[in-house]
């Protein structure tokens, strides 16, 4: 039982076993194998249009190289104030882009910014030489707060980006969970809603280490081969990533795993609702729950060996917690089992 | 049968299967798990002293981040003119170091530079503000030309580095093959011979994707956690790398695999010697052979489905090939089988 | 008559004429001349302790290289939300530091942040690998909003910086005006109040192009010679900068010019107070005034050939302007004459 | 008397006095003044076509930003092995370009590379992902060895660049001296011979601090405003540079000064030829002479207060100096007087 994050679990067995099956073969290295191409084709099919795909090792690489591909000197990237790219990439986005500035946009609802909030912030950046040129918008779907942008919300943000002549990137570390929650197609949630570049995360949803940068406009991908190599993320045995994705895509494994983890989160939410000690800090909809726990309950859990992830209290929650309460994040994954929920519920 | 490079094969079965065994577990992410620590301890044991280890995804990352850790503004790195870091990293070393200059040192023997050649080149860089500050020496062991530095040669280069106050780094993408060939201990070939930082390659010797930066002086590693994160090479599920290394180290699997590939290369060398059409371009000693083939033989091989890697004719070989001859690189690996050699020999 | 900024005027005549006097001499280039050393000694005398000085071409260079000298990978710099370094350097700070993140701190009073606001923001950055390491605090004195930190306020910010183990930098583009306004010594306003590094601006106070990076702790300056050269800001004829500073320091010319421009601003403030159409948006104390003008008055001024600089309405001023009012910045300088004030007053 | 370099002298009096004349005026800052535009127009006239001009502070800035404008990720720049950009910019080119690799081309004649030598070196860089993409050629005119490319030689190098699809840049720190020596027009020596981007140096030829990046194809200049600002080389009082250039261009002052310094060098060459102790190391043609001096003569000069610049003995000169001889560089400038030559000749 572990709800600390969806990157603590190993990998789905089908994916590990696929690597065993591949281990005895020879493949052209450095992303040029027929398997790499095959998976790219499958992703084109998934997204219902030709896409250009680049496999990388980490979500950090996917995000920072995606944004580096936009290529504006001294550029400015707008994102939610709690976005992973601004608050948890250790400066990788700034570094890979040659020094882009990440500007936080505040949002009313947890993890999400609205088009009007975005536009208000952008208005401070008219784009002269000193202020610098606006470059891109980045949104996270599902967000860092577990919430999910509706298609309408994404379209409004894309429209604001296009209006300003900017590229729009989606950090899809938990893309699968958002798709499962919204029950829309990958195409609808991305390019049909105006998204230009996607960081497609496999790692948090059953893979060992498999992230893909997906360009919906192949033209924007032109420099990416060089960016990825210079960014030390071109694998020799790149089929070890493409094989993971191949297995992940097979029979919609990715979607089944995401539905599973969302369902586990829903069960956990029910358990929280039924608990006398705990309550949800806010509604999410994906595989991340934010739960208010009294210190006593938290202590009990820790004593029971459950690793707890305390969450900074967002401004909007200030004054809504008693002195002995804190917010904790609980994340379910492909590996969460019914009995884990039952066991956790017993502790609540 | 494939001799194009030692990164075309998948992975050793034991390593893939270890990943299956790990797939159902939970581990603390981002390099902080007990498995990560355990493998670090095992590497300390292997190197007979405390080492600080950082797992990364690619050899490019290992080399570029190793050198970035040396931290000299506008620094100058000296390496052999054919070194991978100067000729095949797509600018990653320059990028990760914030713009270091890589200065080629010419060598008489294939792939190797001597201490006196190094010193002669360094003399052009007295280190004023304009020329810039000397920063590091990097040597490749086994070299890109398949040759191997003796311990005495390494010690002489280290002495030159220390004399100039510089760090010395070893690109050990084929570290195992060099150890197997020299029959010395990892400690002897590294810190006991003056090496400060090692890029330890697992990928070319049986792993899927496992490289480690090894610091023999933990003090020099101080900034590496941040460099690796900013360089987009910190894995969430980092145990998928440490598990590969754990298996690789178990019962000296790494050494057995390296001995195997060296032996396969030696058998191939024998076959070349026995051939009427082919001859060795130069002696190597590791798992890379450089073979002079007449165009006719090369065509025959290509027709037989053997991917051939043509090699630029080094200056020292100019005038020593006839018009219809070229040099090709043949690399053996953990995956090479006796019958592959037999089959190839039949084509020679 | 021109109040657009203090960088529209040419240079003080004494400074230009000094350049004529120097024009026929030979000096050792690249900052190594006896004049360079002499001016460094004079600055040590001015600051009442040994300082290490680096002349550069632009305020952007002074700020970005000052912060680059702090040298933390993926570092985080805290500054006021309206600071020049975060909002008007075109990404130079991010670039020169190899990708530092600039984090805005909000302040109640125009242009200034308090130690408690700083600490509250810093608390969001505990410094793990993902969030990145805190690196420096930067304050502007006089601020971009014309206000001036008291010594107590500076000391409180320095204490917060030291407490967190961070360097503290002062952007002194208008250092002279702050000294003139506070009537304290340069030592008191800098290192005696805890400042580590100063961008000392000559350009806005009578020079053509003369900025100096001043280190109060010579140890921190160690890498600066290389940073400045790599940052393309090492002059061959560096005496053309040191000569400007030499003249600027002679008989406290810098202080006289700053007092003059502050006095001109005070006269203008009096004129604004006496005007029926205009009013001060907020009190400043330095040579920058922020004036609320009705559109009609602004139009009249523009018609009279006065270049106007409209200022973004700060949040704190929202609701305090009528629909036909906007805020404009008026800056006085060494070149402002009494008659300019009289003439402008006539338009108010 | 000083022959150490052409950046030891101050500035031509006309240029210093022009700064006095400008000192009392107001100008729009940051390169947007009518004077900036006026000088750009004059440069367009000088070059006989529309050019886009960016003033910067240092030759290092001119060279590094020129090449940064070419914008290829992990790009490769080819230049002579002794080029200033590869050997004396302290890593600025690597830094400003985000990590370009500078590849040295060897040349038979001092300071110059031939098209065939360039092509031979380029052939080692076919441009795959690992080797990286070729980006630009850079030549220095007059060269670091005082020699001068003929128009035919420049055209051959440009043709090789175009053939490879690369931009070609001219480091014109001593552009004026080359024009004076070849007696051709600025247009002929640049874009009419295929040059794309020019670093036009004023500093070594009479200015205080005035360098210009000149784009013959305005399209390539598109990102330069942002590159220059991010590179900390955008002046507020940019008219202090444009005024220098304005004066420099007036009545061909630049050409007169260059002819003067070349003539001084020719007189010095005559004196060297007449001397029994000294001899020219090689012919140059510009304002730089390389003179072989016995240690005894060198000691006499040093004793007489003449700063001497020893030059590394080039490979081609090895074996052609006796044990007690070394090569020294003597540079004349706008400031060199007939009596300086007479005085120096007396010491030879």
Per-residue pLDDT of chain A (348 residues; tens, 9 = 90+): 889 899 999 999 999 999 999 999 999 999 999 999 999 999 999 999 999 999 999 999 999 999 999 999 999 999 999 999 999 999 999 999 999 999 999 877 799 999 999 999 999 999 899 999 999 999 999 999 999 999 999 999 999 999 999 999 999 999 999 999 999 999 999 999 999 999 999 999 999 999 999 999 999 999 999 999 999 999 999 999 999 999 999 999 999 999 999 999 999 999 999 998 899 999 999 999 999 999 999 999 999 988 899 998 888 888 899 999 999 999 999 999 999 999 999 988
What subunits touch chain A, counting only 3 or more CB pairs under 8 A? Answer: B, C, D
Q: Rounded to a whole number, what is the distance in Å from the CA of B156 to chain A's nearest CA?
A: 31
> Is residue B245 domain-shared with residue B261, that is, in the same domain?
no
Interface test with A, best of C63, C90, C311, C315 (most A CBs within 10 A): C90
Q: At D321, which CATH number?
A: 3.90.1150.10
Give the C-alpha separation, D113 to D109, whole Å: 7
Give the mean pLDDT of chain C: 95
A–C: how many Cβ contacts below 8 A?
66
B111-152: pLDDT as tens digits: 999 999 999 999 999 988 999 999 999 999 999 999 999 999
Q: Which of C252, C278, C309 is the last residue of a domain?
A: C252
Give the C-alpha separation, A83 to A63, whole Å: 11
> Is B7 a domain residue?
no
CB contact under 8 A, A234 and B91: no
Spell out which residues of chain A touch residue C87, defining contact as CB-CB under 8 Å.
130-131
> Is D343 a domain residue?
yes
Q: Which helix (H) or strand (E) holds A78?
A: strand A76-80
pLDDT computed for residue B318 by the predictor = 84
> Is residue D205 domain-shared with residue D58, that is, in the same domain?
yes
B4-44: pLDDT as tens digits: 899 999 999 999 999 999 999 999 999 999 999 999 999 99
CB contact under 8 A, C90 and A74: yes
> Is residue D136 domain-shared with residue D213, that is, in the same domain?
yes
Residue C109 pLDDT greater than 80, yes or no: no
> Is D6 a domain residue?
no
CB contact under 8 A, B13 and A24: yes
B317 lies in which domain range? 254-347
CB contact under 8 A, D229 and A74: yes
**Percent of chain C beyond pLDDT 70?**
100
Q: Average pLDDT in the D209-224 region?
A: 96
Instruction: Label residue C1 by pLDDT band (50, 70, 90).
Output: confident
B82-101: pLDDT as tens digits: 999 999 999 999 999 999 99
Q: At C80, which CATH number?
A: 3.40.640.10
> Is residue D234 domain-shared with residue D290, that is, in the same domain?
no
> Is residue B339 domain-shared with residue B201, that is, in the same domain?
no
Of the candidates B112, B104, B71, B68, the one whose C-alpha atom is nearest the C-alpha of residue B88 is B104
Q: Which helix (H) or strand (E) holds A242?
A: helix A239-249
Give the C-alpha separation, D164 to D75, whole Å: 13
Instruction: List residues of chain C with CB under 8 Å from any CB of chain A.
Output: 73-76, 86-92, 94-95, 97-102, 104, 124, 129-132, 312
Instruction: Label residue B315 by pLDDT band (50, 70, 90).
Output: confident
Q: Average pLDDT in the C296-312 region?
A: 92
Q: Rounded to a whole number, what is the distance in Å from the CA of C199 to chain B's nearest CA?
A: 21
C242-288: pLDDT as tens digits: 999 999 999 999 999 999 999 999 999 999 999 988 999 999 999 99
> Is C6 a domain residue?
no
> Is residue A186 domain-shared with residue A285, that is, in the same domain?
no
Spell out which residues of chain D touch residue C335, defining contact as CB-CB under 8 Å.
24, 26
> Is residue B237 domain-shared with residue B280, that is, in the same domain?
no
- Predicted complex ipTM exceeds 0.85: yes
> Is C8 a domain residue?
no
> Is residue D211 domain-shared with residue D317, that is, in the same domain?
no
Spell out which residues of chain C touch residue B32, defining contact as CB-CB under 8 Å.
none
SS3 category, D142: coil
The DSSP bridge partners found for residue D217 are: none
pLDDT computed for residue B108 by the predictor = 74
Q: Give how many domains chain C has, as a whole number.
A: 2
pLDDT computed for residue A21 by the predictor = 97
Instruction: Label residue C66 by pLDDT band (50, 70, 90).
Output: very high
SS3 category, B70: coil
C71-86: pLDDT as tens digits: 999 999 999 999 999 9
Distance of CA A234 to the CA centre of its chain: 21
pLDDT computed for residue B231 by the predictor = 97
Please compute Rg for chain A using Cα positions: 20
Q: Alpha-carbon torsion A111, A113, A118, A124, what sign?
A: negative
Spell out which residues of chain D touch residue C20, defining contact as CB-CB under 8 Å.
13, 16-17, 19-20
Q: Which of A189, A222, A252 is the last residue of a domain?
A: A252
Give the mean pLDDT of chain B: 95
Lowest mean pLDDT among A48-62, B257-271, D293-307: D293-307
Give the mean pLDDT of chain D: 96
Instruction: Label residue B228 by pLDDT band (50, 70, 90).
Output: very high
pLDDT computed for residue A88 by the predictor = 96
Spell out which residues of chain C touch residue B227, defining contact as CB-CB under 8 Å.
73
CB contact under 8 A, D29 and C7: yes
HSE toward the beta carbon, residue A209, CA cutoff 13 A: 32
Q: Rounded to a whole number, what is the distance in Å from the CA of A258 to chain C's nearest CA?
A: 25
CB contact under 8 A, B89 and D130: yes
> Is residue B208 domain-shared with residue B190, that is, in the same domain?
yes
pLDDT computed for residue B109 by the predictor = 77
> Is D161 a domain residue?
yes
SS3 category, B228: helix
Of the candidates C254, C257, C249, C244, the one whose C-alpha atom is nearest the C-alpha of residue C334 is C257
**Percent of chain C beyond pLDDT 90?**
92
> Is residue A286 domain-shared with residue A328, that is, in the same domain?
yes
Q: Average pLDDT in the D39-53 region?
A: 98
> Is residue B232 domain-shared with residue B128, that is, in the same domain?
yes
> Is residue C71 domain-shared with residue C173, that is, in the same domain?
yes
Q: In this structure, are residues D215 and D294 in contact, taking their beta carbons and an 8 Å threshold? A: no
Nearest CA in chain C to A129: C90
> Is B1 a domain residue?
no
Instruction: Label residue B48 by pLDDT band (50, 70, 90).
Output: very high
Residue D262 pLDDT greater than 80, yes or no: yes
pTM (two decimals): 0.97
Q: Which of B252, B272, B288 is the last residue of a domain?
A: B252
> Is A303 a domain residue?
yes
């Amino acid at each position: 039982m572990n709800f600390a994050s969806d990157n603590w679990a190993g990998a789905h067995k089908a994916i590990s076993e696929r690597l065993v099956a591949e281990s005895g073969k020879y493949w052209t290295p450095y992303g040029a194998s027929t398997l790499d191409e095959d998976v790219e084709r499958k992703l084109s099919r998934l997204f219902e249009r030709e896409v250009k795909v680049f496999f990388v090792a980490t979500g950090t690489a996917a995000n920072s190289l995606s944004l580096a591909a936009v290529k504006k000197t001294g550029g400015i990237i707008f994102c939610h104030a709690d976005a992973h790219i601004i608050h948890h990439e250790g400066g990788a986005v700034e570094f890979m882009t040659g020094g882009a500035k990440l500007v936080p946009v505040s949002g009313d609802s947890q993890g999400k910014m609205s088009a009007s909030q975005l536009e208000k912030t952008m208005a401070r950046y008219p784009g002269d030489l000193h202020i610098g040129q606006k470059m891109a918008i980045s949104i996270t779907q599902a967000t860092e707060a577990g919430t999910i942008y509706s298609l309408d919300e994404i379209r409004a943000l894309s429209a604001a980006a296009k209006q300003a002549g900017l590229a729009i990137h989606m950090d899809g570390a938990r893309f699968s969970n958002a798709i499962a929650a919204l029950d829309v197609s990958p195409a609808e949630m991305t390019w049909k809603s105006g998204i230009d570049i996607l960081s497609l995360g496999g790692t948090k949803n059953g893979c060992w280490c498999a992230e893909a940068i997906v360009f919906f406009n192949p033209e924007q991908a032109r420099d990416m081969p060089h960016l990825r190599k210079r960014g030390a993320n071109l694998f020799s045995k790149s089929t070890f990533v493409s094989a993971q994705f191949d297995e992940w895509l097979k029979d919609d494994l990715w979607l089944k795993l995401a539905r599973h983890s969302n369902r586990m989160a829903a069960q956990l939410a029910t358990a929280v609702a039924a608990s006398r000690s705990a309550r949800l800090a806010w509604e999410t909809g994906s595989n991340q729950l934010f739960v208010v726990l009294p210190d006593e309950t938290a202590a009990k859990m820790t004593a029971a060996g459950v690793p707890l992830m305390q969450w900074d209290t967002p401004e909007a929650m200030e004054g809504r917690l008693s002195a002995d309460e804190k917010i904790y994040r609980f994340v379910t994954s492909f590996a969460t089992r019914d009995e884990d929920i039952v066991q956790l519920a017993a502790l609540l």
